[in-house]
């Protein structure tokens, strides 16, 4: 019996990298120039990094555009020692690519994603769909489910949202997010900001800060005005960081989780 490659266990290198073959057709571009065009990428997880990245066979990369890095950040990316600058008609992008110090991945090159690191390739595609920030993790699920639970959100004792028609977003590795219709939110307490973030699973989010006496971080509330089809039910609904506000669901107060989104120091309650 032959096991399908994507159903095999993740492979582990002595350096602590996890990797597995990918089956999606992936292209990476800088402006109008296609630098990577691969039907045989691999997904790589670096130690301590929750999201994967792609690495590509050398033959699928425009190596004529790569130059040995003038100032390589030796030791970055799990101890990598070989980095490349990307030369596009005289425009040099430093340390845009690298190879991992693992024998299993010796024939592969990885690239920085501009929207994640601020340098590297700025447009990425899986099949014919553009993706943002980082590759989608095949071991991760994101489900947006309509609900009739009673959800209340409070800040410093003030109720800022109260609904019985939320959409619950379940995302592997993160706390449940409660998306609330705007009619059920105290919009008079919100102030829009110019902050935006991108997510490969949900799309581009717009943010609000709270006009409140309680000391809370800015950009505490977000919404997806044009979400990706997989999470269409959250369109235009508002969500609050569970890490920073008090949420009660069906009369039961939730503990504030501690995640990489937590911004307020001190003990969590």
Note the pLDDT tens digit of each residue in 202-214.
999 999 999 876 6
Q: How confident is the model at residue 4 (pLDDT cuts 50, 70, 90)?
A: very low
Residue 64 has pLDDT above 90, yes or no: yes
174-187 residue pLDDT tens: 999 999 999 999 99
Angle at 164 between CA 163 and CA 169, to 5 degrees: 85
Tokens 């009369």 sit on residue: 251
104-144 residue pLDDT tens: 999 999 999 988 888 899 999 999 999 988 999 999 999 99
Residue 1 has pLDDT above 60, yes or no: no
Answer yes or no: are the C-beta atoms of 182 and 194 closer than 8 Å. no
Tell me the pLDDT of the chain averaged across its residues. 91
4 or 72: whose pLDDT is higher?
72
Answer yes or no: are the C-beta atoms of 161 and 260 closer than 8 Å. no
Tokens 């990598």 sit on residue: 80
At residue 75, the pLDDT reads: 87
Residue 38 has pLDDT above 70, yes or no: yes
């Amino acid at each position: 019996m032959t096991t399908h490659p994507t159903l095999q266990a993740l492979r582990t290198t002595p350096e602590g990298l996890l990797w597995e073959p990918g089956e999606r057709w992936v292209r990476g571009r800088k402006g109008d120039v296609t630098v990577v065009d691969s039907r045989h990428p691999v997904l790589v997880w670096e130690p301590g990094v929750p999201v994967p990245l792609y690495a590509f066979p050398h033959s699928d990369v425009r190596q004529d555009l790569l130059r040995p890095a003038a100032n390589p950040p030796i030791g970055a990316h799990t101890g990598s020692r070989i980095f490349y600058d990307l030369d596009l008609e005289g425009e040099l992008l430093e340390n845009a690519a690298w190879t991992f110090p693992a024998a299993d991945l010796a024939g592969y090159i990885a690239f920085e994603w501009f929207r994640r690191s601020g340098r590297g390739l700025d447009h990425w595609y899986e099949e014919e769909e553009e993706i943002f920030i980082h590759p989608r993790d095949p071991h991760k699920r994101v489900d947006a489910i309509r609900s009739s639970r009673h959800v209340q959100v409070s800040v410093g004792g003030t109720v800022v949202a109260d609904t019985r028609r939320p959409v619950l977003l379940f995302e592997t590795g993160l706390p449940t997010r409660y998306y609330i219709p705007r009619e059920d939110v105290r919009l008079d307490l919100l102030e829009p900001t110019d902050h935006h973030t991108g997510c490969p699973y949900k799309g581009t989010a717009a943010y609000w800060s709270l006009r409140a006496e309680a000391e809370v971080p800015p950009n505490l509330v977000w919404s997806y005005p044009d979400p990706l089809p997989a999470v269409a039910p959250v369109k235009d609904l508002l969500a609050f960081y569970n890490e920073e506000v008090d949420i009660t669901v069906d009369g039961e107060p939730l503990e504030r989780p501690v995640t990489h989104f937590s911004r307020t120091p001190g003990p969590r309650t």
